[in-house]
Structure 1
Amino acid sequence: MNPIQEYFYRIDEPERSTLLFLRKMILESDPDHITETFSFGLPFFKYKKKMLCYLYYSKKYKRHYISFYHGDRIHYPELIQDGRKKFKILLIDMDKDLPVSFIMNIIDDIKQYI
């Protein structure tokens, strides 16, 4: 297994399936320009080889989240800055439907700053 597969393998269900679906949606949203790397022990998504977002787990909120680079430049009340300088996070509620179109809108907004 490669490190990205190992990262997801260590996550319990149903969170694993939700995050794998989110991963697939991000990668398929722009397959010519969005790539995935493994940095700092996390799956990172890059747009034209520059940082776009990553997935992680918040011990503080006890939830998985997607963190957006250049989040400081976009304004969505659903995003949390929480002391970060360049990033904002979107907490993922595993008990609700994944807001895929909302996430894709955020990614499209961030692309203009890359």
Structure 2
Amino acid sequence: MKALEQFYLAQEEPNRSIFLALRDCILSLDAEVSEEWKYKLPFFYYKGKMFCYLWKDKKTNKPYIGIVRGEAVVHPLLIQGNRKRMKIFPVNPNEDIPVKIIKEILIQVQSIYK
């Protein structure tokens, strides 16, 4: 089994389901979005360039989408924190995934690469 597949299977519920749903959401955005295992986490590329990644907060264990070019994206739900380039979009595992908002953010990020 590949490390990428192991990542998803190793997650406890509800994070496993959240990560798999986020994966599908990201990959369905565009045919040129691809997934790779990089930095020991699922990383997504758009046209061969780093796009976003999936991870979870160390303290709360809540999943999030990390936006690589986050500094160039303006959205009230993105959190910069102490990061210089990246911003994150936290996902509450106890609520429905806000697919529409995620797609809006990812389309903004996608426009940076066009």
Q: TM-score, normalised by structure 1?
A: 0.94
Whether the 8 Å contact between 2:64 and 2:91 is mirrored in structure 1 is yes
What is the one-letter code of the residue matched to 2:17? S
Aligned to 1:81: 80
| Distance (whole Å) between structure 1 residues aligned to residue 80 and residue 91 of structure 2 | 15
* TM-aligned CA deviation for residue 83 of structure 1: 1.0
In structure 2, the partner of 1:59 is: 58
Structure 2 unaligned blocks of 5 or more: none
Long gaps (5+) in structure 1:
none
Which whole-Å CA distance do the structure 2 matches of 1:56 and 1:39 have between them? 12
Percentage of identical aligned residues: 36
Q: If the length of structure 2 is used for normalisation, what is the TM-score?
A: 0.94
Once the two structures are TM-superposed, the CA of residue 84 in structure 1 deviates from its matched residue by 0.7
What secondary structure is seen at the aligned counterpart in 1 of 2:28?
helix
Cα RMSD after superposing both structures: 1.0
Aligned to 1:14: 14
Deviates more, 1:56-65 or 1:81-90: 56-65
How many equivalent residue pairs?
113
Evaluate the alpha carbon distance shift between residue 12 and residue 61 of structure 1 in structure 2; reply closer, same or farther with a 3 A threshold. Answer: closer
Give the corresponding residue for 2:105: 106
Give the ranges of 4+ consecutive aligned residues of structure 1 lying more than 4 Å apart after TM superposition: none
